[in-house]
Chain A
Amino acid sequence: MRRDAVPSPLARRPGRRMLVAIALGCACAALAGIAWAAGGDALIVKEAFTPDRLGAAANLSITASFASSADVPPSPIEMLTLYAPAGLGIQARGAGTCTMVTLEQRGPASCPADSRVGFGGGVAVVALSGQLVREPFTLDFFFGSTAHGHLRLLTYVSGSSPITTGFVVVAKEIPTHKPYGLGFSARLPQVSTVPGASNASVESAFATLGASDVAYFETIHGRRTLVHVKGLTVPRRCPPGGFPTRAAIEFTDGSTLTVNPTIPCPRG
């Protein structure tokens, strides 16, 4: 099954209730500005650059909220492929990197500060004995080491109550074509919880990537110098209709969804 989503921040996906599994999804979703929905219910996505100015170092933030009136959990996402607009800058050169082993064994606090890409969180949900059990989770995004010249992003997903969990999702840079300039693809692990319960999926999520005012002290030519991190930079030109993004989602039930949302051009 394949569906092309409407280029609207409020899309609908008929047929069945679905989940919005965002674990890493959130990282990539933030880049893509995804908006997608479920049968009868909708997922509302809001995204923004802060500051909202062409060419500026900025935070890219996104919220994804699944509005469901039903008591059936959505289906988990298995694979997520996302494309960001051409011209979006990522200052990865000179940035630190973290490793999957470090994250898994010692947690996000052990990663170099300058490998940090962003923060996020959300609410996961599982069905257990006919009831939905929700759990807040956090997201920590880091640069991983490049592979064959391609960027890798590591996302540490962590929850503590009622179920303690922590795992790493790896997003790999993939080739893109215009009007996109950057793409990532990630396979999401399925998170089992307790016997008899469904795998965890995501009800809502948010993420903030990049840094408009992050700085670190470095010793340069023998002097302690405050170095500002550019992080993400908004493209210098905004095409008519806004910055195009795209996401292709594969669910564990075999269905797929493609959405093409846009990030509005800065005002003025």
Chain B
Amino acid sequence: MTTSVALPWVTPARSASSNGTQAPRTSGAQAVGTSGASASGASAPGTSGASASGASAPGTIAAVFHPDRLGAQGSFTVALDLTGGGTTDPSPLLSAVLRLPAGLGVEVPRLRACEPERLRLLGASGCPPQSRIGVGRALVRASLGSLLLEESISLWVFLGPLRNLQATFEMLAQGYTPFDERVVLSGAVRPDEPPYSEDLVLSVPTIPTLPLEPDASIASMSLTIGASRRAAREANTTVEPTRCPPGGFPFAAELAYADGSTQTISTTSPCPG
């Protein structure tokens, strides 16, 4: 049996083998091709921008498609640097909203969901591989004693269970050394206005270090959503928009920190040559 799955940020349905797991089609399920661009919040072509309120250092965002070809299936990578290039630890991140360009889709050949509790208990291997939609890395920092301690974190992103017919995702963050810690972050997908299509809304829990010591904060993060078509038969992939707006594909992130400050950073990924 083949099943076509449409999530709010999924491209037009596509056939794939399935064991019967299906997702309902949501209204307005296909966020495709709204390439109209009254570029609210989008940056000028090929540039990045930032606005901030509060004390946090201005961050940067960069985005790239793999492969970079209109309409191509594959993945995209978004990299966030929250330190502004500095070496100090920023205030802990409370939430992040990643705004994705109009027309971007996710191809889910076989919809499976990952329950956050399984992620917490079993790690990435506890969830169906078909539910995995991305991977990444993060660098977290904390001032302990006289040291600015850094830890490299591995990230896995999974489709979460639908909530009110709305797509969700779960992000597993696993560090090994010096602290063997596992944190699960929950997120949701919500519609956005042009020139964006969908937002990934991520709540970031506190990242504890040691009793009496400050929580860790995220210094940088890189997420790759989708996968190479050759990666696996049932791998979830992204679909680059079929049309590129003048100036490139807009990406943006809205960040809120524990110290009350906020930031909006944006960039454009150049149109394929």
CB under 8 Å from chain B, chain A span 178-227: 206-208, 211, 213-217, 226
Q: A63-B212, A207-B212, A208-B212 are in contact. Are A138 and B180 (CB under 8 A)?
A: no
Classify the secondary structure of A's interface with B. strand
Q: List the B side residues contacting A113 at CB < 8 Å.
A: 178
Q: Is the CB of B179 within 8 A of A213?
A: yes
User: Which residues from chain A contact B211 at a C-beta distance below 8 Å?
Assistant: 48, 50, 59, 61, 208
- Residues on A with C-beta less than 8 A from B145 are 108, 118-121, 138-141, 156
Q: Smallest distance from the beta carbon of A2 to chain B beta carbons, Å?
A: 31
| Other-chain residue from A48, A108, A215, A216 in contact with B147 (beta carbon distance below 8 A) | A108
- Chain B residue with Cβ nearest A58: B211
- From B146, B147, B180, B213, A226 is in contact (CB under 8 Å) with B180
Q: B181 in the interface, Cβ–Cβ < 8 Å? A: yes
How far does the alpha carbon of A208 sit from the alpha carbon of B144 in the complex, in Å?
10
> Are B177 and A216 in contact, CB atoms less than 8 angstroms apart?
yes
Q: Which residues of the other chain, A, contact B181 by a CB distance below 8 angstroms?
A: 213
Pairwise interchain contact A226-B179, C-beta atoms closer than 8 A: no
Q: Is the beta-carbon distance between B180 and A214 smaller than 8 angstroms?
A: yes
B171-196: contact bitstring with A at CB < 8 Å (1 yes, 0 no)?
00000111111000000000000000
Q: Does B210 contact A (CB under 8 A)?
A: yes
B18 to chain A, nearest CB (A): 37
Task: Please give, as numbers and ranges, the residues of chain B lying within 8 Å of A207 by CB-CB distance.
Answer: 212
What mask results when residues 140 to 151 of chain B are scored 1 for a CB within 8 Å of chain A, else 0?
000011110000
B residues less than 8 Å from A216 (CB atoms): 177-178
Whole-angstrom distance between the Cβ of A226 and the nearest chain B Cβ: 6
CB atoms of A119 and B177 under 8 A apart: no
Chain B CB within 8 A of A87 CB: no
- How many inter-chain contacts with C-beta < 8 Å in the A-B complex? 61
- The complex places the Cα of A59 from the Cα of B211 at a distance, in Å, of 7
Known contacts A50-B211, A61-B212, A208-B212, A215 near B146 by CB under 8 Å: no
How many whole Å from B123's CB to the nearest CB in chain A? Answer: 13
Q: Name the distance in Å between B207's Cβ and chain A's nearest Cβ.
A: 12
In the complex, what distance in Å separates the CA atom of A190 from the CA atom of B147?
A: 24
The CA-CA distance from A161 to B210 in the complex, in Å, is: 25
Question: CA A109 – CA B210 in complex, angstroms?
Answer: 18
Q: Residues of B within 8 Å of A, CB-based: how many?
A: 14
Judging by beta carbons under 8 Å apart, are A119 and B144 in contact? yes
Contacts of B179 in A (CB 8 A): 213-215
A140 vs B213: C-alpha distance when bound (angstroms): 12
* CA A258 to CA B256, docked complex, whole Å: 49
Task: Check A138–B212 contact: CB distance below 8 A.
Answer: no
The residues of B that contact A206 with a CB separation of less than 8 Å are 212
Which one of A48, A61, A108, A214 contacts B146 once the chains associate, using CB atoms below 8 Å?
A108
Nearest chain-B residue to A63 (Cβ)? B212
Chain B: CB-nearest residue to A50: B211
- Name the CB-closest residue of A to B182: A213
The residue from A108, A109, A208, A228 contacting B213, defined by CB atoms under 8 A apart: A208
Q: Is the CB of A208 within 8 A of B210?
A: yes
Known: A139-B145, A213-B180, A216-B177. 18 other contacts (CB 8 A): A59-B211, A61-B211, A107-B146, A108-B147, A109-B147, A118-B210, A119-B144, A119-B210, A121-B145, A140-B146, A208-B213, A214-B179, A215-B176, A215-B177, A215-B180, A217-B177, A226-B177, A228-B180
Which residues on A are within 8 Å of B, measured CB to CB? 48, 50, 59, 61, 63, 107-109, 113, 118-121, 138-141, 156, 158, 206-208, 211, 213-217, 226, 228
Instruction: Show 26 A/B contacts (Cβ-Cβ < 8 Å), sorted by A.
Output: A48-B211, A50-B211, A61-B210, A108-B146, A109-B147, A113-B178, A118-B210, A119-B144, A119-B147, A119-B213, A120-B145, A138-B145, A138-B146, A156-B145, A156-B146, A207-B212, A208-B210, A208-B212, A213-B180, A213-B181, A214-B177, A215-B176, A215-B179, A216-B177, A226-B176, A226-B180
